A and B are shown apart, each in its own frame.
Chain A
């Protein structure tokens, strides 16, 4: 079946540090890939997406590139802020899955001033 594996957290960084959160997936075919962010006590917000191989999604300084050869979609940001502290989820939708999102377990990011 389809699955998403994220790097284990928590991740703790100082402000302005470089962020990478690893995400790999297993899917029979070519899914669309997403990163969602969940701030404390809130629902999920769509952060960025990529729909085909080599696509780069970007938003609010975050980027992720759809790598078919390594089945990966790693999230990066060059300079994190305290306000980026949240849980980040990698997810996929596979055509034929009735638009069911499959999520990773999430990675907690804490950014200290």
Chain B
């Protein structure tokens, strides 16, 4: 079975630009979460989506937004990029109900570099 997939793998952008990152969850998983991992730190929660609705938001500015599609894939958008947005962006998928809902499975990430 395919795991969580993310695209692109790497991305280089200039300050002030906009970026869109994409994620496809594990088949059968209906919830997608996004995390930002700055070098040398643990991942920080950005968003969680289920059934196309935002179910949770971390402490990130409004420049960060996301959405989920009917096939449960998701996009993370970041506007007006800053140097500090350079990080590995991780997508995780999980089931929504039951004890398994607490198990999140991560994709390989998108490495974003802002210059």
Let me know if B43 and A101 touch, CB within 8 A.
Answer: yes
**Contact, CB under 8 Å: B102 / A32:** yes
A6 smallest CB distance to B (angstroms): 8
Q: A51 vs B99: C-alpha distance in the bound complex, in angstroms?
A: 8
CB pair B104 A99 closer than 8 Å: yes
Contacts of A101 in B (CB 8 A): 33, 35, 43, 45, 92, 104
A99 and B102: CB pair below 8 A? Answer: yes
A100 and B33 form a contact (CB under 8 A)? yes
Contacts of B31 in A (CB 8 A): 99
B48 interface residue, CB < 8 Å from A? yes
**Cβ of A45 and Cβ of B106 under 8 Å apart?**
yes
Q: Which stretch, A11-19, A62-70, A71-79, A102-110, touches the partner chain B? A: A102-110
C-alpha spacing A93/B44, complex, angstroms: 13
Cβ–Cβ < 8 Å partners of B4 in chain A: 43
The smallest C-beta distance from A24 to any residue of chain B, in angstroms, reads: 14
Contact partner of B41 (CB less than 8 A), chosen from A36, A46, A93, A106, is A106
**B104 touching A46 by the CB < 8 A rule?**
yes
Interface size class of B (residues with CB under 8 A): 20 to 34
Q: How many angstroms between the C-alpha atoms of A48 and B81 in the bound complex?
A: 36
In the complex, chain B residues whose CB is within 8 Å of the CB of A51? 99, 102
A44 at the interface (CB under 8 A from B): yes
Number of chain A residues whose Cβ lies closer than 8 Å to a Cβ of chain B: 24
* Chain A hits for B94, CB < 8 A: 99
Query: Could you tell me which residues of chain B, from 45 to 87, have a CB within 8 Å of some CB in chain A?
Result: 45, 48, 55-56, 58
A28 interface hit (Cβ, 8 Å)? no
Encoded as 1 (CB less than 8 Å from any B CB) or 0, chain A from 40 to 53 comes to: 00111110010100
A26 to chain B, nearest CB (A): 15
> Are B103 and A103 in contact (CB-based, < 8 A)?
no
A43, A89, A98, A100: the one within 8 Å of B42 (CB): A89
Binding site for B on A (CB under 8 A): 4, 32, 34, 36, 42-46, 49, 51, 89, 91, 93, 97-106
